Structure 1
Amino acid sequence: MRVLAVVAHPDDETLGCGGTLARLADEGNEVTALLALRRCDPRGVANWSALVECFERACALLGARAAVHDAPLDETLAETHPHELHDRVAPWVARADLVLTHWPGDVNQVHRGVARAVEIATRPFRRRVNVSLFEIPSSTDQTFGVAGAHAFLPNEFVLLGTDHVRRKCEAMALYSTEHAPGRTAADVERRLRVRGAEVGAEFAEAFAVARRFV
């Protein structure tokens, strides 16, 4: 199976689906993480080269190929120019059997833009690609969620072994400039335990199924 994670920022591949990428890679699947945007905030600009290096190292640790678009779109355009972002991700999506990407109700507008671009690229009348949506701490869980609007409601859980958890935590530890409450390696492990407990397992990552073809 060809698996593609389409992410907004370096570290989203680890926070959102790092354990799943590690498991799928271990099972013999072809796993790729695509970064098609360039950060424009002051910290992101100052650390961009280091962040790309961390992205590549994290992907290698998880068993995934790191793909950085050769003409990345400025992240400020992600939500307002979805078709430009679509044009960057569509060729990669067309080769995938399973796409993992952001929950479209995230507080972060760049995450929403990526989700929209993937939604456009996976319209079923054009191509049938399975799509699952992941959560990002400090973004997915920060919405108002009034009456369930925009709330992340997982209906797919990927069970993880201790080695998958270790590699996800080690990958997150690489991103020293991105650590914040809820986003440290220790926080990552706690969240995996919580999601695992929801389904009677030790560790799990949670997803919402967006498209599934049988």
Structure 2
Amino acid sequence: MSNDTLRMLVIAPHPDDEILGVGGTMSRFASKGGEVTVLTVAAHMPPLYTEEIHQQTVAEAHKAHKLVGVKESIFLDKPAVLLSQIPVPEFNQSIFEVVRKIKPDILLIPYYDRHIDHRLIFDAAMVAGRPVGIGKNIKVLAAYETLSETHWNAPHLEPNFTPNWCVDITDYIDTKIEAMQCYESQLHSYPMPRSLEALKALALFRGSQAGMGYAEGFHLLRMTMAPEALF
């Protein structure tokens, strides 16, 4: 189904999270005429990283985004792992302003997992996505998983990611893998979670849970439109 009037906003804590969690879904959505925007909140920048690494990850992101059909890439350049030092109202407002600008129909956000940056961004995105004001325009609000961080939770003490919505990316798994290969600075060899083998294996497993070839799993938080209308 044509979705040329629909806008998707993917909020990524760091460069590569958007491909790990939503690469196939973005590619499928864009291929059907939807507009995809990626907001990358934190950056690998000084004082914990060099400016060279910062610029490399931004360049990698642009290359990956082009492959999956992203229309606009926005970078807030907040310091990675140091988001907790930013006053909450100020941080929340920075996320809200982008949501207000894009006016997304679909808002995909990081799951509340082990990484402190992911938790803070989840909180800020939930504030921006409340079903009042600009949030009333959001027809789908869902959280995605990020290989490594989402699965390193403390069992029974922290939230466990259990998808209640899967998107079939069988026709887009190769594009997702190719996009992830753009992130040379972030890729590792198997058995590290952020490896191409693990990425494809997770998509295969999520597919098996939903009767699909390959899939991306989401924790659906709010939906006011039929899923088939997205694609």
TM-score (structure 2 length as normaliser): 0.84
- How far residue 79 of structure 1 moved from its aligned partner, in angstroms, is 3.8
Give the unaligned 5+ runs of structure 1. Answer: none
- How far residue 68 of structure 1 moved from its aligned partner, in angstroms, is 2.7
Give the unaligned 5+ runs of structure 2. Answer: 1-5, 226-231
Alignment-derived partner of residue 125 in structure 1 = 132
- Three-state SS of the structure 2 residue aligned to 1:60 is helix
Q: How does 1:67-146 map to 2 (within 5 A)?
A: 67-69=73-75, 72-79=77-84, 81-94=87-100, 95-104=103-112, 106-126=113-133, 127-128=135-136, 129=138, 130-146=140-156
Query: Over aligned residue pairs, what C-alpha RMSD do you find?
Result: 1.8
Please tell me the residue identity of whatever aligns with 1:137. Answer: L
Contact 1:39 1:75 in 2 (8 A): yes
2:166 is the counterpart of 1:160: no
2:42 is the counterpart of 1:37: yes
User: What fraction of aligned residue pairs are identical, expressed as a percent?
Assistant: 26
Distance (Å, rounded) in 2 between the aligned partners of 1:114 and 1:11: 15
- How far residue 113 of structure 1 moved from its aligned partner, in angstroms, is 1.2
1:49 to 46, 51, 55: 55
Distance (Å, rounded) in 1 between the aligned partners of 2:43 and 2:56: 13
How many residues are matched? 210
Range 81-90 or range 185-194, more displaced = 81-90
Contact 1:79 1:114 in 2 (8 A): no
1:183 to 194, 197, 201: 194
Q: 1:44 to 1:114 in 2, by over 3 A?
A: farther
Please tell me the residue identity of whatever aligns with 1:34. Answer: L
Distance (Å, rounded) in 2 between the aligned partners of 1:12 and 1:45: 20
Deviation string 1:104-163 (CA, Å, 9 cap, x unpaired) is: 1x111111111111011111133222211000011000001316x41111100000133x
Please tell me the residue identity of whatever aligns with 1:30. Answer: E
Q: 1:75 to 1:42 in 2, by over 3 A?
A: closer
Distance (Å, rounded) in 1 between the aligned partners of 2:28 and 2:169: 7
Distance (Å, rounded) in 1 between the aligned partners of 2:88 and 2:73: 20
Distance (Å, rounded) in 2 between the aligned partners of 1:150 and 1:82: 22
Alignment-derived partner of residue 229 in structure 2 = none
- Three-state SS of the structure 1 residue aligned to 2:151 is helix
Deviation string 1:174-208 (CA, Å, 9 cap, x unpaired) is: 11121231112222111111110111111000000
2:16 is the counterpart of 1:8: no
Range 41-50 or range 25-34, more displaced = 41-50
- How far residue 46 of structure 1 moved from its aligned partner, in angstroms, is 4.3
- Three-state SS of the structure 2 residue aligned to 1:35 is strand
Q: How does 1:12-31 map to 2 (within 5 A)?
A: 12-31=17-36
TM-score (structure 1 length as normaliser): 0.90
Distance (Å, rounded) in 1 between the aligned partners of 2:83 and 2:62: 22
Alignment-derived partner of residue 169 in structure 1 = 177
Deviation string 1:72-122 (CA, Å, 9 cap, x unpaired) is: 322344345333232222133231111111001x11111111111101111
Distance (Å, rounded) in 2 between the aligned partners of 1:51 and 1:39: 7
